[in-house]
Amino acid sequence: MRIPLIAGNWKMNTTVFEAVKLVNDMKSRLDAVTKVEKLVCPPFISLSKISEILKGTSIRLGAQNCHFMEKGAYTGEVSPVMLAGICEYVILGHSERRQYFGDTNEVVNKKIKAAISAGLKPILCVGESLQENEAGKTGEVVTNQMRGSLSGIEFNPGLVIAYEPVWAIGTGKAATGKQANETIGLVRRTLAGLYGEKAAVEVRILYGGSVTAANTTEFLSQPEIDGALVGGASLKPDEFISIAKQTAAL
Ligand code: 13P
């Protein structure tokens, strides 16, 4: 019922030239993978060019962040209205944004509201730090992030949640499938509390954090996990395509 989503977060990697090459290297093979939604999220500067390259394919395009205002005197920022004509998704509340750029739950909440009103589908990221994990606070942190980030926002069918434990991002130390499934189950119950059972059954919840071709099946075979938000491995065409293909085969 929930179509799996395999999303690549390229983060601050690739020049425009490299981004074009990367997407061209993957395009036809990734396009050919059915039964899975495929998404790439390159840096802002490459979005426009890549949207042209992806026209007519089944590969979706997303941004990695946006501002919460539509326009105005916010030097250096990119508004959701600017993105709406080019991409379909926007990643919001990524732990790197929370850690380095002051994206608190309040800020993320404003960004989600703005993204939805511009017609973008938000991918809300939540996840606990190593310290919080070791203190047994995973559930509390993740539910607080969800409640805070989604406060006052009506259910939107385009909403996607990504559970990304901070200690698993870029470290090669992925969670286990069982751990991720447990927390994602809690994310779904939190959604049910906020929006009702029907909404909770519809929303796709992804796992992110050191996902590779080698551990894809471990995560994607879990009943609560509907896809992956892939960082490093999404910059390697063969690896990313293998993740999408393995997901389709499950
Ligand atoms: P890695 O896959 O490189 O661990 O990154 C995960 C991530 O942060 C995706 O948003």
Q: Where are the domains of the chain?
A: 5-249
Locus of tokens 């840096």: 43
CATH architecture entry for 5-249: Alpha-Beta Barrel (3.20)
- The predicted pLDDT at position 174 comes to 81
State the pLDDT at residue 171. 87
Output the pLDDT for position 224: 97
State the pLDDT at residue 127. Answer: 98
CB-based burial, 158-176: b 16+ in 10 Å, e otherwise: ebbbbbbbbbbbeeeebbe
Known catalytic membership, residue 52: no
Q: 164 catalytic, yes or no? A: yes
Which residues of the chain fall short of a pLDDT of 70? none
pLDDT reported for residue 4: 98
CA 96–ligand 1 middle distance (angstroms): 10
Among 37, 67, 94, 218, the active-site one is 94
Q: What is the pLDDT of residue 170?
A: 87
Centre of ligand 1 from the C-alpha of residue 227, in Å? 13
Q: Kindly tell me the sign of the dihedral angle through the C-alpha atoms of 84, 37, 150, 153.
A: positive
Mutate to test the pocket of ligand 1, among 97, 211, 234, 243 (most ligand atoms within 8 A of CB): 211
pLDDT of amino acid 216: 97
